[in-house]
Amino acid sequence: MGNLLTIRDLSLEAGPRTDPKRILDRFDLDLDRGEVLGLVGESGAGKSSAGLAAMGFTRDGVRIAGGRIEFDGTDLARASQSALRRLHGRRIAYVAQSAAASFNPAHRLIDQFAEGPVLHGTADTATAHEDARALYRQMQLPNPDEIGFRYPHEVSGGQLQRAMTAMAMACRPDLIIFDEPTTALDVTTQIEVLGAMRDITERYGTAAIYITHDLAVVSQMADRITVMRHGREIETAPTPRILESPQEDYTRSLWAVRSIRKPDATGAAEPILTLEATSAHYRSFRALDGIDFTLARGRTTAVVGESGSGKSTLAKVIAGLMAPSEGRVLWNGAPLAGDHGKRTRAQLRDIQMIYQMADTALNPRHTVRETLDRPVSLFTNLKGKARRARVRELMELIELDPDEFLDRRIPELSGGQKQRIGIARALAAEPKFIICDEITSALDQIVAEGILKLLIRLQQELGLTYMFITHDLATVEAIADEVMVMKNGKIVESGPRARIFEAPQEPYTKRLLASVPQMDAGWLDRARRDAAEAKSAEAPA
Amino acid sequence: MTRLQKLILSRLALGILTLFVVSALMFVGIELLPGDLAQQILGQSATPDTLRAFRAELGLDQPPHTRYLDWLSGVVQGDFGQSLASGRKVSDLLGTRLANTMFLAAYAAVIAVPVAVTLGLLAALWRNSIFDRAANIGALSAISMPEFFVAYLLIMLFSIKFGWFPTLARLDTATGLGDALYVTFLPALTLIMVVIAHMMRMTRAAIINVLASPYIEMARLKGVPRWRVVLKHALPNALAPIINVIALNLAYLIVGVVVVEVVFSYPGLGQLLVDAVASRDFPVVQAVGLFFAGTYILLNVAADILSILSNPRLRHGR
Amino acid sequence: MTLLRTAPPTAIFGMLVLAATLLTGIFAPLVAPYGETEIVGAEYLPWSAEYPLGTDNLGRDMLSRMIYGARNTVGLALLTTGIAFGLGAALGMFAALKGGWVDQILSRAIDVVMAVPPLILALMLLAIIGPSIPNMVGVIAVIYLAPVYRLSRAAAMNVVSLDFVDAAKLRGEGTLWLLRREILPNISSTLVAEAGLRFCFVFLFIAALSFLGIGIQPPTADWGSMVKENATLITFGDVTPLIPAGAIALLTVSINFIADWMLHRASGLKS
């Protein structure tokens, strides 16, 4: 039994009472004072609902179907609204996923900070303001004396997330719920925020429930980890033990992606696509800045960078969705028109794209058959029976049973199945080159692993060339032959995978590599030190 | 100049431009009549001589752009030309009627706006309660009734049955304020009933939209009481949509006035417009139409500017 | 049919009224005891077995005119809404897909139409081109095309930004395919829900114009002008003129109830 929080047999339900959907199913949780518990699981595992339930709070449409939530002797499942209100913010605080959306745009940060302490009577406004500055300083926010007087839209995402943690600390609560607090941040920003969060909870001995889908991140923050799936607890153990000897198959599978390795490419590299001094603009903003590179036939080139680095713009330019403002793109030595409407049918066929969000990449009003039949009829001369056979063959290529899936509508498929259909649609054109734009980032680990394996197999069978856009370095290690690092619309560094990972030359590449969360316990400390060094090296010489 | 000032100026400029475009289109529209105005008015049987004379009298022998500019410069000086039907100056016809129409619209607005916004707020606060559902059904029904139906129902009830209020709302310059409020009570009530329904529904929707934001959940998780969540966290962010709702409905009032004036024979602009359309008295149609369009555009521009001003992102923009 | 079972009582009431009105309108000549413009007796006769609702200001049977009115008023409102919806939705989707100057020109033109209050715009336009049924239908269709354009453009904008539209463009699909197969199926539920509301506006609008004497012209039977023609009876405490007005209100309430339910369903399906 935890001496701060004990949850027993907690079930949550949503939807109509006659046909409810279980969100949490007889869930147990124990937490001691000052302890940090990690809640890990894939999307839909019920971890956010569990975190909110630990506060006695459920979102609209969700109700407690049974069980106890005992916080320091009070059962929150049965507590009155006013009793809960007295606890919220004062003894249990919450840090939300998107700080930008969770700060009220109409009020200054410091006023939102002071609201809790003043309402709960733990401080007057002046004391609260003074405390805010002290906490902003401890959270390593720039200009801690002044930053609180800004409005949320005037502060960057990483800083807002730290300001929100400071706000959660305002009444020095016994427990903080961190709900995916760094998911929306870039990896390099994530390190600073994680570090500041850990420091402050350690300093005040605050207990925390840290919710995330990222095992590496949670292993830096938590003393113990609970793995969840489908609203149930799969396994709970101290962090070192769950990393070294997980008991359940499901827990082991969570980091399976890190075990894929593509066989090394052999033979001479023959150019298939070349960009010459290519730039692209959104109005006056230069999203691509003089890009030069050559892609080799039959290889996979990974394009890596944080948000805003220009990697998605690069994909659009090559696909013909955005015309370059300078430079040119050569396909097999011949220049490609900037606008897809001016490209030949053969060029359109050769270059295909697979998208990040399979949900929006496929028309939800079409069936699988319609989705695949259309490109087959446009790009090949197949008619009637041969065309139907080709559609079935495509389904077999992506390892989905044609009889079962062809007549389903897109919304009836799972995320991974949709992404496979996206791949089949690209293959339907019989392309030579496929741009993969963050295709696994919206998928759960196991599903992503399946997709990557499929792509590697297809490349070997069909001799495809891939350009793989991603921010996830684990994926890069798994699939790339060549790596290209981008920042601010420029190529920072490029080269063979092994060279980039083992001997990066540029400080930014080093910092990026150091930012990737690792499972071992000392990573965050190392990474913070490295990041500080690399950042000072990157500063204009 | 800050971004805010630029935005506001551009809205103002856009409003004025729209008014010009509308006035020009009205002019062009009449220009496109089969035959011309003189022919329209005098009919097929007019002799060429009378037509020519009449054209000269109307200034139709001038080229169109000259006539538009003449008309426009007249309008700016308050001269809208002469009524074809009565021969009187349009500006004389407009004078008191304009005041009457504004009086009626203001009468209705002063009562309708606070009531509707309060009802909308309450419906949003007590979402899915009996009150909310009843208010929704009531509002839907009220929206569905033609203004003249509401007006005649009120007459039937309050004038014929109870005899409390007059069936007709006749005003003249000698009527005092108290009498005017009494005489125009039924027309004002008609407008109020129609407008409240629209406004309440839109206010409710605006508040509910804001209440779904993550920062509202955050405030609740900080232990902020419900009334304070609504007043301090939701309302400042719902101001822009509510202001829009009010402006839109004030604009709607201006238009709703037309039918109500006809039912109660109220001497306002609406009735003047309807009579002028029936008798195809173009100078009057142009003048009254321009006034209604101008008020409508003005209200919309005001709503735009006020909602820009109430947006914290823009107000505190760097 | 499961759809009907989930409908709230208000929506069921709405559907019953709508069905009754449509049937009456379609079979008007069979149901009506007298002809549409037939003068059957003296003016303003009271209610009787012979003339269930009495006669009107010209001595025509009120009940028969109510029945023919259902056909004329509802039929014209349907026609007008249909034109406004077809054109507005097509133009809105087209503007969203093409963007750039096509969108600019169309959207600014729509802005001008929407800058003038609908009733005032209709009165002015009808003053110029003269009141007749085709003119009225055309004018109202143009006025109500504007909000449909805005709605369909906004809805289509959300769809156009999705990757499957990009994917279709990169396949080399033409404009017609993109509009018909990629965009329209994804905004149709929004449009259908809105159609009910818009029909109400159009219907009330035609009634108001006719009441003002500028819409449907005599001797055609129509609910709006019937109120106007017989309004004097009200001062004598006779409710007969309120019957056509009440019929307008009843039908509009009914359709609003149905539309409200459909909107509710459409928004529920999205989340």
Range of lowest pLDDT (A483-497, B23-37, B176-190, C108-122): B23-37
Cα–Cα distance measured from residue A1 to residue B47, given in angstroms and rounded to the nearest whole number: 107
Cα–Cα distance measured from residue A238 to residue C271, given in angstroms and rounded to the nearest whole number: 38
C239 in a structural domain: yes
Q: Do A114 and A197 lie in a common domain?
A: yes
Q: DSSP letter string over A334-379?
A: EEEPSSGGGS-HHHHHHEEEE-S-HHHHS-TTSBHHHHHHHHHHHH
C56 in a structural domain: no
pLDDT tens digits, C1-41: 566 677 788 888 989 998 988 888 888 788 778 877 777 77
pLDDT tier at B53 (50, 70, 90 boundaries)?
confident
Q: In Å, what is the CA distance from C105 to each residue of C31, C69, C139? A: 49, 40, 20
3-state secondary structure chain C: CHHHHCCCHHHHHHHHHHHHHHHHHHCHHHHCCCCCCCECCCCCCCCCCCCCCCECCCCEEHHHHHHHHHHHHHHHHHHHHHHHHHHHHHHHHHHHHHCHHHHHHHHHHHHHHHHCCHHHHHHHHHHHHCCCHHHHHHHHHHHHHHHHHHHHHHHHHHHHCCHHHHHHHHCCCCHHHHHHHHHHHHHHHHHHHHHHHHHHHHHHHHHHHHHCCCCCCCCCCCHHHHHHHCCHHHHCCCCCCHHHHHHHHHHHHHHHHHHHHHHHHHHHHHC
Residue A129's pLDDT is 94
C24 in a structural domain: no
Q: Do A403 and A541 lie in a common domain?
A: no
Q: Do A309 and A207 lie in a common domain?
A: no
Which class for A196: exposed (0-12), middle (13-18), buried (19 or more C-beta within 10 A)?
buried
Tell me if the pTM is above 0.90: no
Greater model confidence, B318 or A17: A17
A68 in a structural domain: no
Q: Is the pLDDT of residue B177 over 80?
A: no
Specify the 3-state DSSP secondary structure of A511: helix
Q: End-to-end distance of chain B based on CA atoms, in angstroms? A: 11
Domains delineated in chain B = 3-76 (no CATH), 94-315 (1.10.3720.10)
CA distance to partner chain B, nearest, from residue C68 (Å) = 20
Task: With CA atoms as reference, report the closest residue to A172 among A210, A191, A198, A200.
Answer: A200
Cα–Cα distance measured from residue B139 to residue B128, given in angstroms and rounded to the nearest whole number: 15
CB contact under 8 A, B293 and C120: yes
> Which of A220, A254, A288 is the last residue in one of the domains?
A254
Residues 6+ apart with CB under 8 A from B228: A119, B219
Q: Tell me how many helices (H) and strands (E) chain B has.
A: 15, 0
pLDDT tier at B173 (50, 70, 90 boundaries)?
low
Percentage of chain B beyond pLDDT 90 is: 7
Radius of gyration of chain B (CA): 24
Residue B36's pLDDT is 61
Q: Are strands A482-487 and A465-470 parallel, antiparallel or unpaired?
A: unpaired
Domain at C140, CATH number: 1.10.3720.10
Chain A, nearest residue to B311 by Cα: A106
pLDDT tens digits, B228-278: 888 889 888 888 888 888 888 888 787 778 888 888 888 888 888 888 888
Interface ipTM: 0.81
Edge-to-edge strands, sheet with A62-71 = A21-31, A5-14, A62-71, A74-75
pLDDT tier at B317 (50, 70, 90 boundaries)?
low
A73 in a structural domain: no
3-state secondary structure B220-263: HHCCCCHHHHHHHHHHHHHHHHHHHHHHHHHHHHHHHHHHHHHH
* C216 and C136 Cβ atoms separated by less than 8 Å: yes
When scoring A365, A376, A423, A437 by the number of chain C Cβ atoms within 10 A, the one with the most, hence best to mutate, is A365
Domain at A133, CATH number: 3.40.50.300
Residues 6+ apart with CB under 8 A from C195: C81, C85, C259
C249 in a structural domain: yes
The one-letter amino acid at A462:
L
Chain A, nearest residue to B240 by Cα: A106
How far is C-alpha A205 from the geometric centre of its chain's CA atoms? 29
The token pair that represents A43 in the structure block: 């999307």
Q: Do A311 and A322 lie in a common domain?
A: yes
C109 in a structural domain: yes
A22 in a structural domain: no
The one-letter amino acid at A395:
M
pLDDT tens digits, C121-134: 888 888 888 778 89
Phi/psi class of residue C59: alpha, beta or left (left: φ > 0; alpha: ψ in -120 to 50)? Answer: left
Kindly state the average pLDDT of the residues B217-224: 92
Q: Are strands A232-238 and A74-75 parallel, antiparallel or unpaired?
A: unpaired
Cα–Cα distance measured from residue A451 to residue A439, given in angstroms and rounded to the nearest whole number: 9
Specify the 3-state DSSP secondary structure of B87: coil
Its sign, for the CA torsion A474, A476, A481, A487, is negative
Q: Is the pLDDT of residue C64 over 60?
A: yes
Q: In Å, what is the CA distance from A319 to each residue of A300, C182, C233? A: 17, 20, 73
CB contact under 8 A, C164 and A363: yes
Specify the 3-state DSSP secondary structure of B35: coil
Which residues in chain A are contacts of B236 at CB distance < 8 A? Answer: 104, 106-107
Q: In which domain, by residue range, is C240 found?
A: 76-270
Cα–Cα distance measured from residue A10 to residue A64, given in angstroms and rounded to the nearest whole number: 7
**Over the range C69-95, which residues count as b (16 or more CB within 10 Å of their CB) and which as e?**
bbbbbbebbeebbebbbebbbbbbbbb
Residue C106's pLDDT is 92
CA distance to partner chain C, nearest, from residue B176 (Å) = 26
* A511 and A535 Cβ atoms separated by less than 8 Å: yes
Kindly state the average pLDDT of the residues B128-133: 85
CB contact under 8 A, B215 and A101: yes
CB contact under 8 A, B223 and A103: no
Residue A110's pLDDT is 94
**Over the range B246-261, which residues count as b (16 or more CB within 10 Å of their CB) and which as e?**
bbbbbbbbbbbbbbbb
Q: In which domain, by residue range, is A521 found?
A: 504-541
Chain C, nearest residue to B141 by Cα: C253
Q: Do A147 and A39 lie in a common domain?
A: yes
Count of domains observed in chain A = 3
Which residues are A351's β-sheet partners?
Answer: A433
Q: Do A371 and A496 lie in a common domain?
A: yes
* B273 and B288 Cβ atoms separated by less than 8 Å: yes
When scoring C13, C112, C113, C120 by the number of chain B Cβ atoms within 10 A, the one with the most, hence best to mutate, is C120
Cα–Cα distance measured from residue A20 to residue A40, given in angstroms and rounded to the nearest whole number: 24
Phi, psi of A323 (to 5 degrees): -85, 135
CB atoms within 10 A of CB B123: 25
Specify the 3-state DSSP secondary structure of B113: helix
Cα–Cα distance measured from residue A511 to residue A528, given in angstroms and rounded to the nearest whole number: 10
* Cis peptide, bond prior to residue C241, ω within 30 of zero: no
pLDDT tier at B39 (50, 70, 90 boundaries)?
low
Q: Do A426 and A302 lie in a common domain?
A: yes
C175 in a structural domain: yes
Q: Do A155 and A287 lie in a common domain?
A: no
* C212 and B258 Cβ atoms separated by less than 8 Å: yes
When scoring C21, C128, C136, C262 by the number of chain B Cβ atoms within 10 A, the one with the most, hence best to mutate, is C128
Kindly state the average pLDDT of the residues C80-96: 94
CB atoms within 10 A of CB C147: 20
C157 in a structural domain: yes
Q: Is the pLDDT of residue B105 over 80?
A: yes
pLDDT tier at B208 (50, 70, 90 boundaries)?
confident
A259 in a structural domain: no
Asked if B262 is an interface residue toward chain C (Cβ–Cβ < 8 A), one would say yes
CB atoms within 10 A of CB A534: 21
Q: Is the pLDDT of residue C271 over 70?
A: no
Count of domains observed in chain C = 1
C243 in a structural domain: yes
A264 in a structural domain: no
The one-letter amino acid at A457:
R
Residue A2's pLDDT is 64
Q: Is the pLDDT of residue B54 over 70?
A: yes
Which residues in chain C are contacts of A15 at CB distance < 8 A? Answer: none
Side-chain half-sphere CA neighbours of C43 within 13 A: 6
* A23 and A13 Cβ atoms separated by less than 8 Å: yes
A18 in a structural domain: no
A236 in a structural domain: yes
Q: Which of residues 141-180 of B touch C (CB under 8 A)?
A: 141, 143-149, 152-153, 155-156, 160-161, 167
Q: For chain A (length 541 residues), average pLDDT per consecutive 10?
A: 85 84 90 92 86 90 90 91 92 90 91 94 92 91 90 87 92 93 82 88 92 86 91 91 86 70 74 92 87 91 88 92 91 90 92 90 92 93 91 92 91 88 94 92 80 90 92 86 92 91 90 81 80 70 41
Q: Are strands A433-437 and A351-354 parallel, antiparallel or unpaired?
A: parallel
Residue B318's pLDDT is 45
Which residues in chain A are contacts of C185 at CB distance < 8 A? Answer: 363, 365
Counted across chains A and C, CB pairs separated by less than 8 A come out at 49
Q: Do A302 and A393 lie in a common domain?
A: yes
CB contact under 8 A, B296 and C116: yes
Task: With CA atoms as reference, report the closest residue to A436 among A357, A369, A336, A332.
Answer: A357
Q: In Å, what is the CA distance from C251 to each residue of A157, C19, C126, C223, C255? A: 53, 10, 26, 12, 6
Task: With CA atoms as reference, report the closest residue to A222 among A204, A241, A247.
Answer: A241
Specify the 3-state DSSP secondary structure of B168: coil
